[in-house]
């Protein structure tokens, strides 16, 4: 049974930084593409950043230059470094990890950017 455990969310002031982590357990297979999504109430979940097994990254236009996705394959963990945070980054952030042909979701972690 694959489980994803997220950590690192919280309350931060505008301009501040947070680092999210998502660790996968329960599988001996190194994950393929790993990603972060976010969702605010009443809106669809949107992709924030993705990283392939080989390290290719892709970002939503709204976070380019501010967020950095990275991964540690040995730890089966994906990270999201978020800098220069804005109030509009407030959302529940979810990790998404693909292992073979199945995509798994984390439980979500709240990020609130407010003064």
Task: Report how far residue 58's alpha carbon sits from residue 38's, in angstroms, rounded to the nearest whole number.
Answer: 15
- The predicted structure's pLDDT at residue 47: 98
Please report, to the nearest 10 degrees, the dihedral formed by the alpha carbons of residues 3, 47, 71, 96 taken in order.
10
pLDDT value at residue 28:
76
Q: Give the alpha-carbon dihedral of 10, 84, 114, 69, to 10 degrees.
A: -30
Structure tokens at 49: 């950043």
HSE-up (13 A, CA, CB side) for residue 26: 10
71 contacts 7 by C-beta, under 8 angstroms: no
pLDDT in tens, the chain (115 residues): 889 999 999 999 999 999 999 999 887 788 899 999 999 999 999 999 999 999 999 999 999 999 999 999 999 999 999 999 999 999 999 999 998 889 999 999 999 999 9
Q: Residue 77 region, left (φ>0) first, then alpha (ψ -120 to 50), else beta?
A: beta
Residues 45, 83: Cα–Cα separation, whole Å: 21
As a whole number of angstroms, the distance between CA 21 and CA 83 comes to 15
């Amino acid at each position: 049974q694959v489980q994803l455990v997220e950590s690192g969310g919280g309350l931060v002031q505008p301009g501040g930084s947070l680092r999210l982590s998502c660790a996968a357990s329960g599988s001996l297979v190194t994950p393929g593409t790993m990603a972060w999504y976010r969702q605010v109430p009443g809106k669809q979940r949107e992709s924030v950043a993705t990283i392939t097994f080989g390290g290719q990254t892709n970002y939503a236009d709204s976070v380019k230059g501010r967020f950095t996705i990275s991964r540690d394959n040995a730890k089966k963990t994906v990270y999201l470094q978020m800098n220069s945070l804005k109030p509009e980054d407030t959302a529940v952030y979810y990790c998404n990890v693909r292992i073979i042909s199945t995509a798994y979701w984390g439980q979500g972690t709240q990020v609130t950017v407010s003064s």
